[in-house]
Structure 1
């Protein structure tokens, strides 16, 4: 399976691809957490969906949580 730049023989190209994928995943996670919280999901529900603890989800994404819901 060809993964394009992610499997390039040049580590500089491959590592840039890894960085781009990581940044994309972080933006997608942030967007979906914001969406879930806006729909009333608890931090526990968000954490369960992400496979992390409630505390970890809140620490990473809770700074801008204006609602203050659990």
Structure 2
């Protein structure tokens, strides 16, 4: 999703179009979080350090990212 698509989603009059864009942004954010948490762990960051950066508890980030999430997390669903 590029900046033009984000601007279009913000100005659309159609609730359906806007909500689809919100969903795409959520999915993209989840993919980015998965990628960067995995990278942080590979580079030795602790769950506590990652939690501080994401402004969540250590337990929250550990529960969400400590086990494989399955293939659907890496699908192209967010590429609207």
TM-score band (shorter)? 0.7 to 0.9
Runs of 4+ in 1 over 3 A off after TM superposition: none
Q: What are the superposed Cα offsets for residues 25-65 of structure 1, whole Å, 9 maximum, x if unpaired?
A: 0000000000000000000000000000000000000114x
CA distance in 1, matches of 2:38, 2:44: 10
Quote the offset at 1:7 in angstroms: 3.0
Please give the root-mean-square deviation of Cα atoms over the aligned residues, in Å: 1.3
The count of corresponding residues between Structure 1 and Structure 2 is: 63
Q: Which has the higher contact order (CA 8 A, sep 6+)?
A: 2
8 Å Cα contact 1:5-1:14 kept in structure 2: yes
Question: Please, which runs of 5 or more residues in structure 1 have no aligned partner?
Answer: 65-70
Q: Equivalent of 1:34, from 38, 55, 60?
A: 38
CA distance in 2, matches of 1:35, 1:22: 20
Question: Where does the alignment leave 5 or more consecutive residues of structure 2 unmatched?
Answer: 1-5, 69-80
Which among 38, 52, 60 is matched to residue 56 of structure 2? 52
